[in-house]
Amino acid sequence: MATEPSTSAPASPAAVAGGDDSLEPWSARVRTLTRLGRHREALALLRHGDPSPPPHALALPAAVISCAKLHLASGVAQIHALAAKRGLLPSSDAYLLSALLSSYSRLRLLPLARQLLDELPLASTPPATARTAFNSLISGCALHGVPAGCFSLFRLMRVAAGVRFDAVTLLALVPVAPLGIVPQLHALAARSGLAANTSVANCLVSVYARGGGGGASLARQVFEEMPRASRDLVSWNAVISAHAQNGLAVEAVELYRRMRGPEGGGVEPDAVTLVGVLSSCAHTGARRVGLDVERYVRDTIPGFRDNLPLCNALINFHARCGSLAQAQELFDEMPERSVVSWTALIIGYGMHGQGDIAVDLFETMVSEATAPDSVAMVGLLSACSHAGMYDEGRKYFSTMERDYCLRPKLEHYTCMVDLLGRAGRLDEARELIASMRMAADGAVWGALLGACKIHKNVEMGEEAFERVVSLEPANVGYYVLMANIYADAGQLDGVAKVRAAMRRRGLRKEPGCSYVEHKGKVHLFMADDHSHPQARRIYELVVELERMVKEKTGGDVVEERAEKAVAEAAAVPLVGFHSEKLAVAFGLLNTEAGSEIVVIKNLRVCGDCHSFLKTVSELTNRAFLVRDASRFHRFENGACSCRDYW
């Protein structure tokens, strides 16, 4: 037999099993050596041991596996020939048949595996043996990325051979199935009673999650249909990741709460769970949950700083939730950093308007031989855009392909159009779009539209709006932007036209909302919201602050409105109050003097609120950290960290 030379003499029975020869048959010793991963010794013992057929036959499946592990295709073929000569194939030995099919598949010898299957007399083969044979070859095709072969064999298995599939079959088929086929496999699993199998259900959840779009809802459906007792850690991780990866951060955090409660049945999260939850907390600004997760990590995962994905998730969480100091501290403590670690910190500083530090971090990363990837370049260009660093942004964009072998993608062009547009270089931004190697998407045209709003360019705004709504007709934000451009220019006919288009399409402006976390509770405020238990006091304070702001800035003081609001707030709902004003007023009423108030907002801060919060920060001697849909604004001593560039 063609085997690699053994590096040692064949093991004695005592060496293998710790016993006497008579206590362990020779064939069992071959199997034991294979199970222990001592494949060369197993093959050497096969060559030099007892040649009598009975033990030889029992040892052959193990020997086949050892040959496959050592990549000895010729050894597998010789054992196959020997077994056929002794009459052990094609169907009398199920274990040997399975070992040969699995080994041929592992060694990419799929035609030989298919030939062996075709030689199997299905009519006289026991069903379990036939199912094992089909499963082995289907798994081999799946392993080597041949989905067409998988489904061809599956049809043969069910129709021509009449062999029933099992959970092993589905676990091979589902991950390689086209997304449109997965629901059909799901239906087959349900009809056969296999959908309740924990492994099958976990597999379906994971595959649905990768589908994007409505995949998360299908993953959730499978999860909710599972018996609670059969949900294991993999189940919870799969469904949490399904929501986190598809932008459903609120749902992911809620699932984590369920997992940690009685419904979780004592299942403890692992690093995979925590990475998904921290990512969702970063997305939504759920500081309290994220801090609870961090405490859990520090208490239960010793040496967590060696876990790169977990540390990166913590850095990202702190950076996106306004705690740059903690993000930097974690980064500094890491024994090893990846490009993801650097990128998380670069993006964090960029969101806080500290583009100069983001650029320094990027240069340090490169000097330490960590090559940037596309995501790192997006973070860097975005940081330059938020900080108004026009020259730096142009330099990095123009050299990214030459210096880092990174061809610009749509997201890089979006950053550059945003950078140029914010800097007032609208014509240059339009020329960049015309020069793109690919068609501009909605994000690119949307960046130009946003720049036209900043610089009140109606003509170019109309072009960008026409382009973007043809690509994303249901994105209400673009309609609002165009209506505001018309409003700023005093073109009321244009405003009416955009609003009519919104009505025709059934679109409504997303309501603004802001929230503040206080004493373990989330306090949510909508624009003109009177539902909060402290609504009367909140509105009284906002009206008083508006009066103080107008006095300080020299505007007209509307005393009558203030007096009426204080007297009649409970009876007459006030209007025109944006959610961030209400959230800040709540924070002022309920937190200690000198403490920072953190507000998370779903939309961008408007100009009026931005000016209001700057002045209020000076009047009250308080700092407000507001994260809007685009970036962080830190209001302190009458100024904002964005330097009025947002």
Query: Do residues 135 and 99 lie in contact, with contact meaning Cβ atoms separated by under 8 Å?
Result: no
Domain membership flag for residue 421: yes
- Is the distance from CB of 452 to CB of 426 less than 8 angstroms? yes
My answer on whether 580 and 616 are in the same domain is yes
Same domain, 554 and 627: yes
The answer to whether residue 83 is domain-embedded is: yes
What H or E segment, with its residue span, contains residue 640?
strand 639-640
Residue 389 scores a pLDDT above 80 = yes
Domain C-terminal end among 175, 194, 224: 175
Q: Is the pLDDT of residue 434 over 90?
A: yes
- The Cα 344–Cα 332 span in angstroms is 13
Distance CA(478)–CA(305), nearest Å, equals: 42
Looking at the structure, tell me whether residues 588 and 493 fall in a common domain. no
Question: Within this chain, do residues 32 and 169 fall inside the same structural domain, yes or no?
Answer: yes
| Whether residue 478 is found in the same domain as residue 562 | no
More confident residue, 633 or 567: 633
Q: Is residue 429 part of a domain?
A: yes
DSSP tag of 232: -
- Higher-confidence residue of 524 and 4: namely 524
Look at the chain and count its residues: 646
pLDDT at 68: 84
User: What span, in angstroms and rounded, lies between the C-alpha atoms of 215 and 180?
Assistant: 11
* Domain finish residue from 486, 509, 532: 509
For residue 117, tell me if it sits in a domain: yes
Residue 262 has pLDDT above 60, yes or no: yes
Say what the pTM is: 0.77
Percent of the chain with pLDDT over 90: 53
pLDDT at 133: 86
Statement to judge: residues 503 and 524 lie in one domain: no
* Residues 477 and 428 placed together within one structural domain of the fold: yes
- Whether the predicted pLDDT of 520 surpasses 80: no
Across residues 10-22, what is the average pLDDT?
37
Q: Are 450 and 480 in contact (CB under 8 A)?
A: no
- Specify the pLDDT at position 568: 41
Tokens of 56: 């030889």
491 falls within a domain: yes
Residues 462 and 591 in one domain: no
> Considering the domain boundaries, does residue 349 fall inside one?
no
Please, are residues 144 and 108 in contact by the beta-carbon 8 Å criterion?
yes
Q: Is 46 exposed, middle or buried (0-12, 13-18, 19+ CB in 10 A)?
A: buried
* pLDDT value of position 576: 65
* 560 and 428 both lie in a single domain: no
- Would you call 232 exposed, middle or buried from its count of C-beta atoms within 10 A (0-12, 13-18, 19+)? middle
Could you give phi then psi for residue 267, rounded to 5 degrees? -70, 125
CA atoms within 13 A on the CB side of 73: 9
Cβ atoms 9, 15 nearer than 8 A: no
What integer best gives the mean pLDDT of the chain?
86
Residue indicated by tokens 């018309």: 486
pLDDT of residue 38: 87
Q: In 453-596, at which residue ranges do the beta strands (DSSP E only) sit?
A: 513-518, 521-526
Q: Are 164 and 33 found together in one domain? A: yes
Q: What does the pLDDT read at residue 23?
A: 34
Q: Give the type of residue at 196.
A: A
Is residue 572 scored above 70 in pLDDT?
no
At 83, the pLDDT band (50, 70, 90 cuts) reads confident
Of 478, 509, 540, the residue at which a domain comes to its end is: 509
The arithmetic mean of pLDDT across residues 199-221, rounded, is: 86
For residue 154, give the 3-state DSSP assignment: helix
What CATH number corresponds to the domain at position 418? 1.25.40.10
Note the pLDDT tens digit of each residue in 327-361. Answer: 999 999 999 999 999 999 999 999 999 999 999 99
Q: State the CB neighbour count (10 A cutoff) for residue 539.
A: 24
User: Range of 449's domain?
Assistant: 408-509
17 pLDDT higher than 50: no
Give the model confidence (pLDDT) of 120-160 as tens digits: 787 777 888 888 888 988 998 898 888 888 999 999 888 87
Q: Using 50, 70 and 90 to split pLDDT, how confident is the model at 372?
A: very high
Q: Is the pLDDT of residue 19 over 70?
A: no
- Does any domain span residue 80? yes
Are residues 566 and 621 both part of a single domain?
Answer: yes
Going by the DSSP 8-state scheme, the letter that residue 626 receives in this structure is E
Sequence-ordered alpha helix ranges (H) in 51-93: 53-69, 73-85
Indicate whether 567 pLDDT > 70: no
Number of domains in the chain: 3
Query: Would you state the pLDDT for residue 3?
Result: 40
The backbone torsions φ and ψ at residue 283, rounded to the nearest 5 degrees and listed phi first, read -65, -40
DSSP 478: H
Which helix (H) or strand (E) segment is 599 a member of? strand 597-601
- Say whether pLDDT at 559 is over 60: no
* Residue type at position 191: R
User: Which class for 228: exposed (0-12), middle (13-18), buried (19 or more C-beta within 10 A)?
Assistant: exposed
**pLDDT grade, residue 51 (50/70/90)?**
low
Whether 557 is in a domain gets the answer yes
pLDDT bin (cut points 50, 70, 90) of residue 283 is: confident
**Distance between start and end Cα atoms, the chain:** 74
Distance CA 537, CA 521 (A): 19
Tell me: do 169 and 35 sit in the same domain: yes
